Structure 1
């Protein structure tokens, strides 16, 4: 291998390593103003097949969606061909039932807002409206302040994943939630709820 080919191979290897390292840290959002993200984004866009070949050996796959000049996202999820019960930051098992239900309802709120308007993402919902919706799917708590405090704690942890943006009076829900909350997620949630119901019956 001559020197020119060695340099080309080294550059390609470094680009893939940089992209895979970024994916390990969580969701990557397209950003045309930050040079390092521009470089990583170009690698993800142009080398999806190579990246997926590497991820395959870890039973993972790349989710990549480019939605325009400044909108797009990429993340890694368990491959469809295997059981997705592994511990990942975007898996409903590791998130726990409460946070997972909140994520599902955020996805529902996103979808409902998308249907009723022609706005582009992120979709916005008032925090008061979301508390009210969540109440319908959770056990009643007499202390409203305690309920909201618990929900806010979960929302802040979801905000840290950059799936939503928490504002003082509203929640901005980003389009990435459409890819995260999919059929596999809902199926796993159903399995968890069924198992919990059976445990409750056994205890009685």
Structure 2
């Protein structure tokens, strides 16, 4: 669901998009009964995350629900509109909300605006603009060390050595399962470490 009042206003033109739904949308009541249940840690953290994600979605839709955590976003940076839309459509089915753009410059503006909300950066190496995905990953690593970095490319694998140590590289064509694993690492692994 696209809402005009949630599209970031940026100085550079581009197809930045913000969605407020994923698998948790509308399911808070279903998960609420499981929050206090005796579940394995990984299942309990997922149930809590899904419940909180739905609360964030309902808050944005104006029903007064309050979430204890900020929204969690994934920022997709891809200059190919078809690949970008495919990636956004796939990630909309996760517990993360999605922002998308075509250039590193636009991504940096978005990250400045949503610094505390972004859980994962998913970027191609080849991008529109003067900076590429490796530049973006390096800048993100320095400025926002809590953002999980996933870098992808179909033909620039020789530059993997230039990536920050904590960045994950996925060659194109990547598999949806591999991307979903990275979402899991970006969102659930920190919560599990705190337990």
Higher relative contact order (CA 8 A, sep 6+): 2
Which structure shows the bigger proportion of residues in helix conformation? Answer: 1
Q: Same fold (TM over 0.5)?
A: no
